[in-house]
Structure 1
């Protein structure tokens, strides 16, 4: 997918993987105040992560305002990491979280990749899209120090 996704039954919402369309103020606004993860990042960090992403997908209301986001990091051949999935609270209840994950994982160049993610509270959302417990081969090395520490 490149550009926009048709939005049947979407309540006027549109998804797009066009990085030029992103509203970095909206992305930063959510990630720095609403997200329960990664608040240690500075705006410069977030902008660098978005700029360096393999793919981004934004969700937009009928008036064009950005109300959701996700990004992925990938080797471009067989592996991807899903990150920073969010929907602004006032726009939840329209399946936008599901649409963001589906668009990123199933409707793009990474549809056949092995995907991984880290979540503390959205297991049901991701399970609905095929994510499960790590297999016997998976291992995780936690980040060191305060920068990688999960919020209390």
Structure 2
């Protein structure tokens, strides 16, 4: 199967993103549909992966940034049945390496994809990093 990647926000299919985040993501189930729609609309960048034959969205990544020197990567996923096609790597390549934030400091949280993100320079933070957990 062939896939296309695109960073055009108009191409994002919010129903697909909402369905996956609200049912599959260990990190996103507490958000409402309105929250997800707001996050997509306010994102600095979004990247989608799409089936070339149907245009169906099968992957997503979102970033928030000040547009100058820091970006936060969030909500990266590939729908089951489309994994194993390097779509996660391709989305990160477009988002992090080939985008306008190539030289930024990037931040993310993950419980299970460390190997993927390390391929793009992510690593355990140094002693200067602190996090205030959500309440």
| Global fold match (TM > 0.5) | yes
Superposition deviation, residue 135 in structure 1: 1.2
Q: What root-mean-square deviation, in Å, do the aligned CA atoms of Structure 1 and Structure 2 show?
A: 0.7
1:21 to 1, 4, 11: 11
SS of 1:91's partner is coil
* Post-superposition offset of 1:94: 0.3
Alignment-derived partner of residue 35 in structure 2: 45
Aligned to 2:114: 123
Q: CA deviation at 1:101?
A: 1.1
Please state if 1:140 is matched with 2:131: yes
Question: Does 2:64 match 1:73?
Answer: yes
Deviation at 1:12, TM superposition (A): 1.0
User: In structure 2, what is the equivalent of residue 96 of structure 1?
Assistant: 87
- Aligned partner of residue 44 in structure 1, secondary structure: helix
Deviations 1:5-36 (A, max 9, x none): xxxxxx41110000001111101110011111
CA distance in 2, matches of 1:101, 1:142: 25
| 2:24 paired residue number | 34
Query: Which structure 1 residue ranges, 5 or more long, are not aligned?
Result: 1-10, 145-152
Counterpart in the other structure of 1:86: 77
**Corresponding residue for 2:2?**
12
